[in-house]
């Protein structure tokens, strides 16, 4: 009977270790897919409907904050609604494997879609004076944190030092990127 108990404990420990390592494996798979430009592999690691929904909500919130109170002005309310619907359509077109890969690399989405090589920025000058042309590391130097048994975050800084939080949620034993909290 003790052999069965040890076997059950061993299986539970292995399952717990796999679930705990899951978000790190997902981050690694996302990095590899972005570097390789493999949209199918990236799609397996990302919950795109949840990500689109999150981006739409973040944009609507920012738009409402910037527009302020419409003050009962029906024309202002109409304009706000029109801007939200146009932005929603744009977000649907941009939150794709190519768009997400471009965002993680710091590239323009049209460069990524056209498969143009990464062009270094003026502030990324090498020691010999040439502009750096290597692709940046996706999700470079993140700060990891388990927020619960089903929620994990990887926080990276954008070019201006503002935090961008990548949120992973557990679906059964698998983890997927489900939200990106953009900097203000």
24-64: per-residue pLDDT in tens?
999 999 999 888 888 889 999 999 999 989 888 888 887 77
Confidence category of residue 113, pLDDT binned at 50, 70, 90:
very low
Domain layout of the chain by residue ranges: 2-181
Question: What's the pLDDT at 167?
Answer: 95
What are residue 164's DSSP bridge partners?
156
Q: d(Cα 113, Cα 101) in Å, to the nearest integer?
A: 10
158-183: per-residue pLDDT in tens?
777 788 899 999 988 899 999 988 88
Number of residues written out for the chain = 184
Burial of 143 (0-12, 13-18, 19+ CB in 10 A): exposed
Q: And the tokens for 67?
A: 């527009």
């Amino acid at each position: 009977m003790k052999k069965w108990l040890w076997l059950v404990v061993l299986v539970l420990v292995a399952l717990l270790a796999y679930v705990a390592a899951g978000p790190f494996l997902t981050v690694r798979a996302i990095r590899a897919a972005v570097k390789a430009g493999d949209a199918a592999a990236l799609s397996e690691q990302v919950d795109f409907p949840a990500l689109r929904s999150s981006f739409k909500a973040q944009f609507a919130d920012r738009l409402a904050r910037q527009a302020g109170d419409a003050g009962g002005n029906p024309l202002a309310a109409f304009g706000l609604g029109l801007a939200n619907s146009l932005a929603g359509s744009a977000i649907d077109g941009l939150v794709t494997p190519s768009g997400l890969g471009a965002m993680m690399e710091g590239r323009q989405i049209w460069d990524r879609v056209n498969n143009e090589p990464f062009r270094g920025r003026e502030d990324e000058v090498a020691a010999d004076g040439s502009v750096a042309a290597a692709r940046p590391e996706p999700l470079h130097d993140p700060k990891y944190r388990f927020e619960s048994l089903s929620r994990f975050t990887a926080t990276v800084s954008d070019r201006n030092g503002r935090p961008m939080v990548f949120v992973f949620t557990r679906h059964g034993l698998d983890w997927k990127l489900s939200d990106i909290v953009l900097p203000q």
